[in-house]
Amino acid sequence: MKSRMAEIENDLRNEHFHAKHEGVQVTVNGDGHLLKVLVDPSEQQLDITAVCADIVTAANMAKQRAEAKQQNDLLAMAAELSNEPDDLN
């Protein structure tokens, strides 16, 4: 079980999650660390405060996707374990 959890954590760490809000797109890794920010140059948004707010919103959305993936992977692992026969006999 520990090796399966370590595998899930490692796989998740290497995945990238993307989210877009207004003219901003961000990428985070499975740990939720911000990796990339892209601002659409065609957006007429020149207010730096608004751009920063969009970055934060998009980063939080991407992080939530990473957390949801981790939760789903752990639930799948638990389901797999519950279907395995007991080796105590």
Asked whether the predicted pLDDT for residue 85 surpasses 60, the reply is: yes
pLDDT score for 31: 85
**Residue 48 is assigned to a structural domain of this protein:** yes
**Residue 89 is assigned to a structural domain of this protein:** no
* pLDDT tens for each residue of 18-47: 999 888 899 999 888 899 998 888 876 568
The CATH number covering residue 33 comes to: 3.30.1310.10
Give the side-chain half-sphere CA count within 13 A for 89. Answer: 2
**Residue 34 is assigned to a structural domain of this protein:** yes
- Residues 49-68 as b/e (b if ≥16 CB within 10 A, e otherwise) read eebeebbebbbebbbebbee
Specify the pTM: 0.68
Asked whether the predicted pLDDT for residue 5 surpasses 90, the reply is: no
**Residue 7 is assigned to a structural domain of this protein:** yes
Distance separating alpha carbons of residues 69 and 62, to the nearest angstrom? 11
**Residue 25 is assigned to a structural domain of this protein:** yes
pLDDT score for 68: 92
Range of the domain at 65: 2-83
Asked whether the predicted pLDDT for residue 89 surpasses 60, the reply is: no
Domain count, the chain: 1
